[in-house]
Amino acid sequence: MGNFVSDFIIMTKPRVWVFLLITGIAGEVFALSIHRSLDLIGFLYVAVYIALGLMGAESISNYFDLSIDKKMKRTMNRALPSGRMKPSIALYGGLILITATLVMAIFRSFWSFAFMASGIFDYVIIYSLISKKRTSWNIILGAYSGGAPLLAGFYAFTSSYNVVAFLMFLTIFIWTPLHIWSLSIKYREDYAAASVPMLPVNRTTKQSMRILFPIALLAVIVTILTGFEFRSYFTFYVGIGVFAIYVLLGLSLLTSYLRALVDPDKRIMKLFVSTNIFIGIFFVIIALLSILIPFIGL
């Protein structure tokens, strides 16, 4: 039983969904802070259904990706392709988790429900089932799902439009292809063997890196804009510090990209790791500073 539970959790790709859960939590903390609300039970409730939804979506995605994962060296030892777990477990387990998520979400907030439902649909159906095996722009079509947990967390506590929340979502949306395509460059042969038309499979490394340039630049611009808007929730000098943090964060990402552009063979995985560090710091800082808004904010 222990091995089964362990294999199921590993199958849901916890390194992926824990990161997305952090973005959802950041959205929750930001919403609660700007409304000067302390709703611990609501916070935990929303975090639970976001986590369950992410796990469910990843589980069904693994079911759809079985034929691909069997052909890729990087994935062939996962629970499904290795035969340690039956595909039906991934499918029905995922459906149960998603159902639980949507039921919990609808009782909390219509908008939170809507973002969770649309995010799951985008990832499972639009990305995994339809576009992943058909177009090199698959990750663009699936990028919305990466930002949906953030919006689900934020709109679980409010129904008002917020510029910072939108910019946070936009950051994830733009960051996603930079993150995934940098990994795809490294594992181009794996994706080609599995007939997955990721952009770097159909382009040379130099072409792929050039395509990533406007994406990296846009990610930096949106990061700086997020810092600029986020600063308005704090007193003047604290706000300047917040803005400076996000300027430096954006420039560090651009620097990492430019280094990879010069020598992609040696630095492409460093760019991939940098994108992980960037997005982690981005949202951890959002969450930590949001906690301080009721104390040092305007």
User: Which amino acid appears at position 241 of this protein?
Assistant: G
Between CA 4 and CA 295 the distance in angstroms is 46
The structure's pTM equals: 0.92
CATH number of the domain encompassing residue 110: 1.10.357.140
- Specify whether 92 is located in the same domain as 187: no
| Structure confidence at residue 205 (pLDDT) | 87
- Specify whether 2 is located in the same domain as 138: yes
- Total structural domains in the chain? 2
- Residue finishing a domain among 132, 159, 186: 159
- Specify whether 62 is located in the same domain as 94: yes
| Structure confidence at residue 76 (pLDDT) | 80
- Specify whether 139 is located in the same domain as 59: yes
Confidence of residue 77 (pLDDT cuts 50, 70, 90): confident
| Structure confidence at residue 193 (pLDDT) | 84
* Of 235 and 113, the one with more pLDDT: 113
- Specify whether 27 is located in the same domain as 138: yes
- Specify whether 7 is located in the same domain as 47: yes
| Structure confidence at residue 9 (pLDDT) | 86
| Structure confidence at residue 298 (pLDDT) | 67
- Specify whether 133 is located in the same domain as 274: no
- Specify whether 220 is located in the same domain as 123: no
- Specify whether 186 is located in the same domain as 229: yes
Task: Give helix 87-108 / helix 2-11 axis angle, nearest 10°.
Answer: 70
Tokens 């620097």 sit at which residue? Answer: 255
Mean pLDDT of 251-255: 95
Residue 62, Cβ density class (10 Å: 0-12 exposed, 13-18 middle, ≥19 buried): buried
Work out the mean pLDDT of the chain and round it to a whole number. Answer: 91
From the list 254, 269, 165, the residue with the least C-alpha distance to 215 is: 254
- Residue finishing a domain among 117, 144, 159: 159
Domain that holds residue 42: 1-159
- Specify whether 26 is located in the same domain as 133: yes
27-55 residue pLDDT tens: 999 999 999 988 999 999 999 999 999 99
197-206 residue pLDDT tens: 888 888 888 8
- Specify whether 246 is located in the same domain as 116: no
Q: Is the pLDDT of residue 1 over 60?
A: no
> Is the four-CA dihedral 292, 19, 231, 33 of positive or negative sign?
negative
